[in-house]
Amino acid sequence: MARRRVVVTGLGLHSPIGSSLEEVSNALREGRHGIVNVESWRAYGVETRLGAVVADVDPPACSRKQLRSMGKVARLAVSATHAAIIDAGLSAEQVSHPRTGLFYGSTDGSTGAAEDYYRKLYTTNNFSGLLSSMYLKFMSHTCAANVSQVFGITGRVVPICSACTSASQAIGEGYHAIASGREDIAVCGGAEELHVTVAGVFDLMLATSVRYNDAPGASPRPFDAARDGMVVGEGAGTLVLESLDAAQRRGARIYAELLGYGTNCDGMHLTSPSPDGMARAMELALADAELSPGQIDYVNAHATGTDVGDVAEATATHRALGPDIPVSSTKGHTGHTLGGCGAIESIFVIAMMQGKFIAPTRNLVEVDPRCAPLNYARGDAREARLNRVMNNNFAFGGINTSLVFSRV
């Protein structure tokens, strides 16, 4: 069977810089960020006190019974998915059709709900008073499970839990499902919930930004010589994918075409990234899209602001794509939204294609000389007609992803 062309027909998100395409486009253009000081973390002995926060939401069209099984991460996922389905113009019958699949990721379940559960259990050494629904909030596939129940999805449901590539792998798997003809519609995305335990984990690894605790707007600083680590964030993003033919038949608005997807594993180290592995993922995406490096107009880098990660990624990008393609990281605006970043940042690059601009890397003043010589976008936003863009994400375990989107 010939491979079907895959397009994006619906978008929904909650991010630290907005929850609509217009909001995030304006924020990316104007350099606005969502980083705040989270002073309450001090009580836990966490060194960093920088986080990128999203207001909690009450998902539309949810019953009280459904809400009982949702922590914040699932509420964000359900709300973003509701917006994407409405945006795509899908009926309830189309969403619940057996050939509609759900591909959704997160780093884990609701960390806030897990804290509530285990704090009560281990301070009393007794299960009395614990609600059975509490587990449903922090089980690892809570986002996929709750989204499928709220929207009545009866097709294939694929939860993906690969840390910072959870959402990008979900989009990639949805793309494969549509391209191969296995599904007609794929609802894809990822979500993350901010919690002190998440900040604390990266703090213990000496990976968080601490130098700028009193100046939240000054960090993170991807690729910058003065960077000192990442800022953890939260949010959710959902994309609706379908075949080009089907979208055209029903007169759907088409945001972009998904041309290629590459994913692999370094197979070397749990936390230290490999430039070779990163470069191979980009090369796989280019091969899948049947493009040469020179046909990419912009690269949205994963670059989180860590010392080792940014250098490795710059080396890999230079190796796979050369020195001329504009590169920036939107994490200077949003922090690192972990399990949600692949979807949130895919929506960001679609916003740039729609708005004909390149968002600069916030706080990139002086490029670290250890980073390969790339065409780093910094300062003000650049006006640009973007026909093909690449979005890269990388995760612990050496898992790498690269997605290529194009204007239709």
Backbone angles phi, psi at 332, to 5 degrees: -65, -20
Task: Give yes or no for a contact between 9 and 233, defined as CB atoms under 8 angstroms apart.
Answer: no
Alpha helices of 125-165 — where are they, by DSSP H?
Answer: 133-138, 142-151
Give the span between the Cα atoms of 67 and 49, in whole angstroms.
30
The one catalytic residue in 14, 302, 318, 333 is: 302
Give the span between the Cα atoms of 275 and 357, in whole angstroms: 28
DSSP assignment string, 248-292: HHTT----EEEEEEEEEE--S-SSS--HHHHHHHHHHHHHHHT--
How long a stretch of residues is the chain? 408
Cβ atoms 70, 153 nearer than 8 A: no
Alpha-carbon span 388 to 282, nearest angstrom: 14
The bridge status of strand 388-395 relative to strand 399-406 is antiparallel
Angle between helix 275-289 and helix 307-321 axes, rounded to 10 deg: 40
The residue from 164, 188, 341, 371 that is catalytic is: 164
Cβ atoms of 343 and 107 within 8 Å: the answer is no
Q: Which of 62, 336, 341, 371 is catalytic?
A: 336
Q: In Å, how far are 33, 69, 160, 257 from 62, measured between CA atoms?
A: 30, 11, 24, 31
Active site includes 164?
Answer: yes
Q: What residue type is assigned to position 69 of the chain?
A: S
Instruction: Give the catalytic positions in this structure.
Output: 164, 302, 336
